[in-house]
Structure 1
Amino acid sequence: MTTRPTEEEDLIATLDVGTSSIRCLIFGSQRQVVAKHQIDIKRLYPHPSWVEQNAKEIITKSTECIQGAVTELTFAGYKIEKIKGLGISNQRETTVVWDKVSGEPLYNAILWLDNRTADLAEFFVNGKGQGERDCLQDICGLPIHPYFSALKLRWLMDNVPTVREAITRNTCLFGTVDSWVIWNLTGGVESGVHRTDVTNASRTMLMDLRSLQWSEKLLDFFDIPRAVLPVIHSSSQLYGATVGTAFAGKPIAGVLGDQMASMLGHGCITPGTAKNTYGTGCFLLANIGEEVKFSKCGLLTTVAYQLGPGAKPVYALEGSVAIAGAVITWLQQNLTIIQKAEDADELANTVQDNGGIYFVPAFSGLYAPYWDTEARGTICGLTEYVDKAHFVRAALESTAFQSCQILDAIQKDSGMQLTRLQADGGMSASNLLMQFQADMAGIPVCVPKMLEITSLGVAIAAAKAVNFVDFLQEGQPIIAGNVRQTYVPRITIEERMSKYSFWLEAVERSMHWAKDHSKAGPKTVTDAIEYAKATANEEAARHKLSRRSSFADGLTPYLVGATAGALSSLVLAGLLVLIIQAVHRR
């Protein structure tokens, strides 16, 4: 892992606070990793679609991680005194509120993929938004959706008494994970600084993309007090000195949301370059330059980075997928189909294809380009032929299919034809997935040798702030010599389009599943027949009938996938629905 230490070699440290783990990496002057420590962090699921983490655990494990990396650094023969600065990258949108007097969190951290604010989002869309989900896009670049921090903060204000009380006392502070970590590492209640960077601020739905400051219009829209918000800094500047950890006295010099750090680490610094991170979720970002451009295809406009207080910001179009690697965890922990994540590739490779099934893992709705909070996980095309290997293969393929939809949208919005895709994250170790991604995207997919590309990106931002010239390697491509493997497309356009069309149909059938149907649908057999007759397409009618109740989910492969038949078949479908509803009511 380490190279031979040089006595006076300067170093740069990074702390990556992710959704599944916390990593501390220390880099040498040639961008080599000289020390590393990683600790897993738990997610909490108090209710369906709710996802949280213990905010105090984020800090204690960050401190442990730093100590572990320093121990390894010393053991390897490097000097901690040579660390010039610290860069912090983090899971974005995740929301923390705490009391600045006691230093205690006022609630668990609400994670980015939490969906509890779905109804609140609809309230704002149909109220102040007058039915337009994108009514704030021209300010913040984002749709009104549970993904972003503003709604999470609004929910906390509305539902947690201690948060309201702290706001009344003027002791409440809000931040994304970077702000929470920075405040604690710089001294907390004694001397902590309340800061965030432009990339994380751009994910709150509260920052103006052009001014890079909090927007009064957005604050008024969500009725959020400005006093709880951190000061916005650039991605590369001195934030404050660390206190009370093994890094004590070292300046925090760079901060980036994890996906933006990944962009920088990949060298996506010119318009038209793009990267995809295959982690818990999937995040595809394309550099669009220094001018703000808004999507018409369901993508987000976000700040990619700003390398210094006086530097121009660089923007990106982004498509986010809620469930990518998380579906493998689900197969492992919930269904016990595999024993460990690494088994997924091995099992999927025992079959030639997905057996005709298409798995849409919309466990918490669909993100880009649909933004449908009512979508739910769906499997289409199920037959007796399918076994667990087909199931796992379809799960892996779902990540590539979702990424293809984002690639299509990016190219339509930007007018740029992407020529390759940089890949990183845990799932990029899957040869099957990377090859399938290249096949479906129709462009090469490049995987780097050093997978800790997010940490490299924020290390570059921190190194710039402390003038670590050797590390910056000015004039040299960031990705030079760092490509482990390039996957090139191997299938025909006809094969690609056939698979893609099946996927799109499966997605359509997953959408709006969680709608309340208690007052809709046929109540009698006669109603069921009339309902079917009134539908222009008999197959579509049977599809709708089969979805009157969530209990019908297991029948979908039969009611939806069957060949369109005579009206007598529709009557049978109606009877089945009525039976299912009766069971449901009992």
Structure 2
Amino acid sequence: MTGPVLAVDQGTSGTKALVVCPERGVIGSGSAPVRPRYLPGGLVEVTPADLYDSVVTAGRAALAEAGTPVSAVGLANQGETVLAWDPATGEPLTDALVWQDRRAESLCGELAAHADALRQWTGLPLDPYFAAPKMAWIRRRLTGEGVVTTSDAWLVHRLTGEFITDAATAGRTGLLDLDTVSWSAEALDVYGLGGERLPRVVDADTRVGVTTAFGPPLPLTGLLVDQQAALLAQSVTEPGAAKCTYGTGAFLLAQTGPAPRRGDSGLVSCVAWRLAGRTSYCLDGQVYTAASAVRWLTDLGVLSGAGDLDAVGGAVPDSGGVTFVPALAGLAAPWWRGDVRGSLHGLGLDTTGGHLVRALCEGIAAQVVELAGAAAADLGTPLTTLRVDGGLTRSALLMQTQADLLQLPVEVSALPDATALGVGAVARLGLDSSLTVREAVPEWKPSAVYEPAVSGAEAAERLDRFRSAVAALLDGSSEASRP
């Protein structure tokens, strides 16, 4: 049996590191903040050095708390965050454009005629959320020097000197052939990236190299993009099951097995992971703003922070007729309308902060319901339960609202740091090839299960109000864009 491993989850607003022991579970943890800059016009960027420093700081803190040697390191990453950098020195040549960044919107408009072909080749829609449009924007507007990659390739290079990315992260670029799990020459040409030097695509459980960033030399044996790592940690390894992670955004993934499933519901078809040469696929849907919408209400003074959701929202029995579409960075799946912005309906002189909080919880939960419905349609079978993780799962109000609107049980992960646990399992697989996935992944035990507490009719009525608000938002946006 392998010893403890260090699992590092490099996320949008911070990095979390865990020391995970096969027998004792989590025996050390550390964290470090990351502060993206949210700029006018939908621009979101971060200083690359902050990403690397947060990885080292969180990792060293987790090791110090554990006080015991570890056998290997695993690294999870944000997926669609990109930068240009010098492969000779490792020095960044640009800031990192965060996955929420919308500056490549006009570039996507130019390439609209290729949208269907790109989706067929790569499984992804043509949208600035993904890496390829941002990579192409950097090449057009900032620099032609060095290499332009997702942030994981740069972090791995800084840690080990290697130039690689795992198959699931590569699948978030819009440049990976979904069927062959190799770079698509056709997609690269469409984006004007045909001559680029790209990282080698490897399995998630690959012995990448050795790092001394955390102190003693340690092999880096696991790499996986964040949402897929959370999918693995929650034992969603069979077709038909689904999980949702509530972080900066909310991300629902449903397993589809060894073959990609290209549906027409608006969900993304992508690589879940490639382990020991075998690829698993999943359906993926996104809500762009979850915790970031909570932070917005906090900045307005409605809340003191995410820990205040239940207290403020619990002061009123319902949303008081308020409907909130929290599309503060646009609508993602299944609408793919990054150009629209959020809306509040039904405000009155009697509207309180509690009503706004409840309306926000309903708005987040309703979007997840739409994703779950789309997944069920593409899978051809209804979902039976939803497994959830992430910081916002600490809110009983949000989780109960989710169960009510979904009309299904919502199982909350016993540990909110499922992404780190998932990449920790992958690191163990990379360290010991005799392990099975079932042996490497901790047994799933929910800390709480929320059952629906309202009738199907009431849930449908509340969802109808939300859908009407979305329809009004989309119609208004379409009218505004007409000459």
1:455 aligns with 2:437: no
Structure 1 residue 472: deviation in Å? 6.2
1:400 aligns with 2:365: yes
1:24 aligns with 2:17: yes
Q: 2-side partners of 1:180 and 1:147: how far apart?
A: 19
Q: 2:45 aligns with which of 33, 52, 56?
A: 52
Closer/same/farther in 2, CA of residues 32 and 472 from structure 1, 3 Å limit: farther
Structure 1 residue 246: deviation in Å? 2.2
Amino acid at match of 1:134: D
Range with greater deviation from structure 2 (355-364 or 96-105): 96-105
Structure 1 residue 444: deviation in Å? 0.4
1:334-364 per-residue CA deviation (whole Å, 9 max, x = no partner) reads x111122211221001111101111111122
1:506 aligns with 2:469: yes
Structure 1 residue 94: deviation in Å? 0.6
1:32-60 per-residue CA deviation (whole Å, 9 max, x = no partner) reads 11111101110112333000110011112
Structure 1 residue 30: deviation in Å? 2.2
Q: 1-side partners of 2:481 and 2:382: how far apart?
A: 46
Closer/same/farther in 2, CA of residues 478 and 10 from structure 1, 3 Å limit: closer
Q: How does 1:231-250 map to 2 (within 5 A)?
A: 231-243=200-212, 245-250=213-218
Quote the residue 2:255 is aligned against.
287
Amino acid at match of 1:314: S
Closer/same/farther in 2, CA of residues 460 and 226 from structure 1, 3 Å limit: farther
Q: 2-side partners of 1:415 and 1:393: how far apart?
A: 32
Structure 1 residue 478: deviation in Å? 4.1
Quote the residue 1:62 is aligned against.
55
Structure 1 residue 138: deviation in Å? 1.4
Quote the residue 2:179 is aligned against.
210
Q: 1-side partners of 2:437 and 2:104: how far apart?
A: 42
1:314 aligns with 2:307: no
Secondary structure of the corresponding residue to residue 71 of structure 2: strand
Q: 2:350 aligns with which of 385, 397, 406?
A: 385
Quote the residue 1:329 is aligned against.
295
Quote the residue 1:299 is aligned against.
267
Structure 2 residue runs of 5 or longer lacking an equivalent are none
Q: How does 1:35-434 map to 2 (within 5 A)?
A: 35-74=28-67, 78=68, 80=69, 83-125=70-112, 128-129=113-114, 133-160=115-142, 163-164=143-144, 166=145, 172-186=146-160, 192-243=161-212, 245-308=213-276, 310=277, 312-333=278-299, 335-434=300-399
Structure 1 residue 151: deviation in Å? 0.4
Quote the residue 1:555 is aligned against.
none
Structure 1 residue 460: deviation in Å? 1.0
Structure 1 residue 118: deviation in Å? 1.2
1:170-227 per-residue CA deviation (whole Å, 9 max, x = no partner) reads xx122212111100001xxxxx111100110000000001111100000111110443
Structure 1 residue 470: deviation in Å? 8.0
Amino acid at match of 1:426: G
Structure 1 residue 382: deviation in Å? 1.8
Q: 1-side partners of 2:238 and 2:58: how far apart?
A: 34
Check whether the contact 1:463–1:471 (CA below 8 A) recurs between aligned residues: no
1:211-246 per-residue CA deviation (whole Å, 9 max, x = no partner) reads 111000001111104433111001111111113x22
Closer/same/farther in 2, CA of residues 349 and 519 from structure 1, 3 Å limit: closer
Quote the residue 1:484 is aligned against.
447
Closer/same/farther in 2, CA of residues 226 and 234 from structure 1, 3 Å limit: farther
TM-score by length of 1: 0.79
Structure 1 residue runs of 5 or longer lacking an equivalent are 1-7, 167-171, 187-191, 521-586
Q: 1-side partners of 2:269 and 2:195: how far apart?
A: 23
RMSD across aligned C-alpha pairs, in angstroms?
1.9
Amino acid at match of 1:442: Q
1:380-438 per-residue CA deviation (whole Å, 9 max, x = no partner) reads 12222311110111112211000000011111111021110000001111101111111
Closer/same/farther in 2, CA of residues 464 and 150 from structure 1, 3 Å limit: same
1:496 aligns with 2:483: no
TM-score by length of 2: 0.96
Check whether the contact 1:85–1:466 (CA below 8 A) recurs between aligned residues: yes
Amino acid at match of 1:491: V
Q: Percent identity?
A: 32
Rg comparison, structure with higher value: 1
Q: 2-side partners of 1:437 and 1:504: how far apart?
A: 16
Closer/same/farther in 2, CA of residues 519 and 417 from structure 1, 3 Å limit: closer
Q: Which has the higher contact order (CA 8 A, sep 6+)?
A: 2
1:90-109 per-residue CA deviation (whole Å, 9 max, x = no partner) reads 11111121012342211111
Structure 1 residue 9: deviation in Å? 8.2
Amino acid at match of 2:291: G
Amino acid at match of 2:156: I
